């Protein structure tokens, strides 16, 4: 296997100076440098570099954004409201606000740093649940361990279950299965982390209970500027009650209030729009962080870097060179334990409408004006709006059935007690999309997603066109497809980017084979890859929105799927059946063949 060597690029003078994004954070006090700051709350310069200033109002929150010229990031939270007729930030130059060094303890805008020190309170609503235990608390601990949480923070678990603080801490420590648990000083750090975790039992629709939460939060905030993040880790029918109560009774009085909303965001265009309308009764759009955890995955984030920072890819990124694009998701386990939820949604809503479509939009969008959240999301929306709504003939659906292998019997989807015996809900689907714009006209974007398949894998496969008048076609043989260049971005597991090329087999003859130029992350980078929830939680705390879904993106996404979902349900289309642990139904191959495509994951190439 050939290795594509890659060297570490020098950090930009204003970028992070080490591969660890947070551990270098130093408090600002004590430094006496001329410094610059970026004026807007929705940035995270220590991880993404400074952004251009895009003032949405003349009220600007400085939040963790002071960067000393020597690259040290300081921690200041100050609200500045320029007076009428005053140009905000008149020293603004090249997107930076230049200010002269403040006196000890006084920030750039003349505020007392110590007095104004902010605190972040993170409330996990639904703290007793599966996602909270499996993902949210471990991610928060990992952020704490890495030094990414602000100096003053408090975590509250909120749910109906009765629990004491000690019981919550016990639950969190028992279920901590994060990547940190084998690291140095984990126990000690864990103890410190748990001391910052508290619990309050309450109803999701009770303003009084949320007022109790508000009182508790205030005790911990101790008069500091309070920033509050609510993570709605509850079933979707509870979202609106919880948002209403949190917003009316437990919003921050002097800092920001943000709400992370988990999927599903509705089950079709109408219900999604109704949810958005209801949320917007209590929250502004910029307070709503709709999470799609696939956007927090390392290789999904890397997609734009790959495209826009390498000259070799962007010129090929169009119908001229790309024959088809495949987005493949497979899991080697069924819906075990989640059948009740899943049966109301199915694989198209669970995986395709969000995770795979988000990847598609990032893959296919035009170059954004900048890395600002709004610029990126504008481009994603354009792609989604250029896509044709999915047609029934471009979808294949299937459901897994029981299968016995090696003496072990694996259950059928319908064996789950929470699933009706006559359920037609697909646990597998394949679909063909088209983007009607100049770049992608006629290129099939194929998606395939399934549960209870033979492996767990998510990948993006880009199959290039055949080489015209290929000099070596005699050596390649008749099946040109097998010799097509293919770029594979393996999102998980074993993150990798590899390019299949034709190569001469060493020797005196002229024999070609297909080899990989291979960037396997575990071989190239020694640092562990953070969990998607870590990145997204940190972004929400920092007010960075680019990895969260904006409401118009969501509308555009639903309008692609809603007609076909309705048709499948109204016509009661019966899914094909595939055995648990298999490679999926044959219908997926017929669908691909309609567009002269062969699924790339059939070959064993890694
Ligand atoms: N689990 C996962 O892997 C994933 C989950 N999600 C989404 O995250 C959210 C949370 O998921 P998850 O943790 O699995 O959900 P759970 O079913 O575990 O619910 C979370 C908590 O909500 C409360 N709750 C559950 N059902 C009800 C109900 N009918 N009425 C009132 N309260 C209820 C319970 O707390 P109590 O009884 O103590 O109040 C429960 O502990 C959901 O929106 C889900 O779709 C998204 C991706 C993956
Ligand atoms: O959102 C969901 O994602 C998981 C898969 O996430 P991964 O990060 O483990 O790949 C999926 O199992 C679940 O059904 C779905 O709701």
Question: Which residue from 331, 354, 456, 457 has its CB within 8 A of the most atoms of ligand 2, so it is best to mutate?
Answer: 331
Q: How far is the CA of 306 from the centre of ligand 2 (A)?
A: 24
Predicted local distance difference test score (pLDDT) of residue 605: 63
Model pLDDT for residues 256-277, shown as the tens digit of each residue: 999 999 999 999 999 999 999 9
Contacts of 138 (CB under 8 A, 6+ apart): 175, 176, 177, 178, 180, 531, 533
Q: Which of 31, 355, 403, 466 is catalytic?
A: 355
Which ipTM was obtained for this model? 0.98
Q: Is 355 annotated as catalytic?
A: yes
Predicted local distance difference test score (pLDDT) of residue 106: 45
DSSP string for 268-324? SHHHHHHHHHHHHHHS-GGGEEEE-GGGGSHHHHHHHHHHHS-TTTGGG-STTTEEE
In whole angstroms, how far apart are CA 5 and each of 312, 517, 520? Answer: 15, 9, 10
Distance separating alpha carbons of residues 550 and 290, to the nearest angstrom: 7
Ligand nearest to the CA of 336: 2
Predicted local distance difference test score (pLDDT) of residue 14: 23
Distance separating alpha carbons of residues 564 and 235, to the nearest angstrom: 25
State the pLDDT confidence band at 187, using cuts at 50, 70 and 90.
confident
SS3 182: helix
SS3 221: helix
Whose alpha carbon is nearest atom 14 of ligand 2?
Answer: 350
Average pLDDT over residues 434-444: 98
CB atoms within 10 A of CB 17: 16
Q: Which residue has the tokens 């010799």?
A: 483
Residues enclosing ligand 2, CB less than 6 A?
293, 331, 350
Model pLDDT for residues 8-50, shown as the tens digit of each residue: 443 322 233 334 467 634 333 333 232 333 333 334 455 665 5
The average confidence (pLDDT) of the chain is 84
Q: How far is the CA of 605 from the centre of ligand 1 (A)?
A: 38
Predicted local distance difference test score (pLDDT) of residue 178: 66
Distance separating alpha carbons of residues 166 and 478, to the nearest angstrom: 68
Whose alpha carbon is nearest atom 18 of ligand 1?
Answer: 129
Residues enclosing ligand 1, CB less than 6 A?
126, 128-132, 159-161, 233-236, 238, 262-264
| Ligand 1 atom nearest residue 239's Cα | 43
Average pLDDT over residues 455-463: 97
State the pLDDT confidence band at 464, using cuts at 50, 70 and 90.
very high
The answer to whether the predicted template modeling score (pTM) of the entire model surpasses 0.90 is no
In whole angstroms, how far apart are CA 292 and each of 21, 229, 498, 528? Answer: 22, 17, 25, 21
Weakest-pLDDT range from 1-15, 419-433, 527-541: 1-15
Predicted local distance difference test score (pLDDT) of residue 383: 98
Weakest-pLDDT range from 250-254, 336-340, 380-384, 429-433: 336-340
Ligand nearest to the CA of 341: 1
DSSP string for 444-484? -EEEEEESSBS--EEEEEEEEPPPTT-TTHHHH-S-GGGG-
SS3 531: coil
Predicted local distance difference test score (pLDDT) of residue 602: 84
SS3 502: strand
Distance separating alpha carbons of residues 566 and 570, to the nearest angstrom: 6
Of all residues in the chain, the percent with pLDDT exceeding 70 is: 80
Distance separating alpha carbons of residues 164 and 162, to the nearest angstrom: 7
Distance separating alpha carbons of residues 231 and 251, to the nearest angstrom: 13
Residue 124, pLDDT > 80, answer yes
Predicted local distance difference test score (pLDDT) of residue 120: 97
Model pLDDT for residues 335-371, shown as the tens digit of each residue: 988 899 999 999 999 999 999 999 999 999 999 999 9
Predicted local distance difference test score (pLDDT) of residue 47: 62
Predicted local distance difference test score (pLDDT) of residue 70: 32
Model pLDDT for residues 475-518, shown as the tens digit of each residue: 877 777 778 899 999 999 999 999 999 999 999 999 898 899 99
Contacts of 9 (CB under 8 A, 6+ apart): none
Query: 542 versus 69: which is more confidently predicted?
Result: 542
Is 516 within 8 Å of 500 (Cβ atoms)?
yes
| Ligand 1 atom nearest residue 232's Cα | 9
SS3 351: helix
Q: How far is the CA of 136 from the centre of ligand 1 (A)?
A: 12
Q: Please, how many CA atoms are within 13 Å of residue 216, restricted to the half-sphere of its CB? A: 22
Q: How far is the CA of 345 from the centre of ligand 1 (A)?
A: 15
């Amino acid at each position: 296997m050939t290795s594509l060597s890659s060297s570490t690029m020098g950090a930009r003078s204003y970028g992070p100076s080490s591969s660890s994004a947070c551990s270098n954070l130093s408090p600002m006090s004590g430094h006496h440098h001329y410094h610059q700051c970026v004026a807007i709350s929705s940035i995270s310069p220590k991880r993404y570099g400074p952004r251009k200033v895009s003032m949405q109002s003349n009220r600007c929150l400085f939040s963790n954004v002071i960067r000393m010229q020597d690259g040290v990031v300081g921690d200041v939270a100050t609200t500045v409201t320029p007076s009428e007729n005053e140009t905000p930030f008149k020293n603004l130059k090249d997107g930076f606000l230049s200010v002269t060094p403040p006196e000890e303890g006084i920030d750039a805008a003349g505020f007392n740093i110590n007095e104004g020190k902010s605190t972040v309170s993170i409330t996990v609503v639904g703290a007793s649940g599966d996602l909270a235990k499996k993902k949210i608390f471990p991610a928060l601990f990992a952020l704490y361990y890495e030094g990414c949480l602000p100096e003053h923070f408090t975590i509250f678990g909120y749910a109906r279950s009765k629990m004491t603080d000690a019981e919550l801490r016990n639950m969190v420590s028992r279920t901590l299965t994060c990547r940190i648990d084998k690291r140095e000083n984990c126990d000690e750090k864990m103890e410190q982390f748990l001391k910052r975790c508290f619990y309050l039992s309450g109803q999701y629709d009770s303003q009084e209970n949320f007022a109790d939460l508000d009182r508790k939060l205030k005790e911990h905030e101790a008069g500091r500027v309070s920033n509050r993040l609510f993570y709605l880790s509850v079933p979707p029918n509870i979202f609106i009650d919880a948002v209403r109560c949190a917003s009316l009774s437990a919003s921050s009085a002097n800092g920001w209030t943000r709400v992370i909303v988990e999927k599903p965001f509705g089950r079709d265009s109408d219900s999604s729009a109704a949810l958005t309308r209801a949320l917007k009764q209590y929250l502004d759009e910029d307070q709503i962080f709709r999470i799609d955890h696939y956007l927090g995955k390392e290789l999904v984030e890397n997609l734009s870097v790959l495209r826009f920072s390498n000259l070799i890819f962007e010129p090929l990124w169009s119908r001229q060179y790309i024959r088809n694009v495949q987005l493949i998701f497979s899991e080697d386990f069924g819906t075990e334990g989640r059948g009740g939820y899943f049966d109301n949604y199915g694989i198209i809503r669970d995986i395709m409408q969000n995770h795979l479509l988000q990847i598609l939009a990032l893959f296919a969008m035009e170059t954004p004006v900048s890395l600002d959240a709004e610029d990126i999301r504008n481009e994603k929306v354009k792609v989604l709006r250029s896509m044709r709504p999915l047609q029934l003939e471009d979808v294949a659906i299937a459901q897994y059935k029981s299968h016995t292998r090696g003496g072990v019997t694996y259950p059928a989807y319908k064996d789950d007690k929470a699933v009706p015996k006559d359920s037609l809900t697909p646990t597998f689907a394949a679909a063909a999309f088209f983007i009607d714009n100049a770049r992608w006209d006629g290129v099939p974007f194929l998606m395939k997603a399934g549960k209870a398949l033979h492996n767990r894998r998510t990948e993006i496969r880009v199959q290039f066109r055949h080489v015209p008048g290929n000099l070596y076609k005699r050596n390649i043989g008749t099946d040109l497809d097998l010799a097509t260049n293919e770029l594979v971005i393996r999102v998980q597991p074993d993150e990798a980017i590899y390019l299949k090329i034709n190569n001469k087999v060493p020797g005196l003859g002229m024999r070609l084979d297909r080899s990989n130029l291979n960037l396997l992350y575990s071989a190239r980078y020694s640092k562990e890859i953070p969990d998607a929830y870590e990145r997204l939680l940190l972004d929400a705390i920092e007010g960075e929105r680019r990895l969260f879904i904006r409401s118009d993106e969501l509308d555009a996404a639903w309008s692609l799927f809603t007609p076909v979902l309705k048709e499948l349900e109204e016509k009661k289309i019966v899914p094909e059946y595939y055995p648990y642990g298999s490679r999926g139904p044959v219908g997926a191959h017929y669908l691909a063949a309609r567009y002269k495509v062969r699924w790339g994951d059939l070959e064993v190439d890694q």
